[in-house]
Amino acid sequence: MTDIRQGGCLCGKARYEIDLSGHETGNCHCRDCQKNSGAPFVTSTFVPVSQFRWINKPSGEYSASPAAIRRFCVECGTPLQWDGLKLRDMVDISTATLDDTSNIEVSYEIFTRSRMEGAAALPGVPQYEASSSE
């Protein structure tokens, strides 16, 4: 069963469509995500690349490390995608940019070694000091 949704940036210039069937959603507490978002962590949703398409792709790109390219709207600054260079078969979008965020559960938290004080661990959710693959 498919779960097709749309999302985009604050100003509406960048838009995408995504099928959330079989998605994985997690909180990342790494310093790059904290600085990119200005928040204690970023909630991201991963799907296979075949389940995602840009309607209006953002033109903003930035690479804080050799691991990924971050895509954002140059008009309003909304961070939209973390494009992992080793995960070419997956797409990672900023979950909060979905128009409808209902029924999306966080299933893991990564880079908890840099969790900010006051950002409590989610009960019953696996916690990883680095990435979930390390």
Please give the chain's pLDDT, 134 residues, in tens. 899 999 999 999 999 999 999 999 999 999 999 999 999 999 999 999 999 999 999 999 999 888 889 999 999 999 999 998 888 899 999 999 999 999 999 999 999 999 999 999 999 999 999 986 65
Q: Please report, for residues 2, 113, 120, the alpha-carbon distance to residue 5 in angstroms, rounded to integers and kept in the order given.
A: 10, 33, 29
Burial of 114: CB neighbours in 10 Å, binned 0-12, 13-18, 19+ = middle
Residue-wise burial string across 75-94, b where 16 or more C-beta atoms lie within 10 A, e elsewhere = eeebbbbbbeeeeeeebbbb
What is the Cα–Cα distance from 131 to 128, expressed in whole angstroms? Answer: 6
Complete domains list, the chain, with CATH:
4-114 (2.170.150.70)
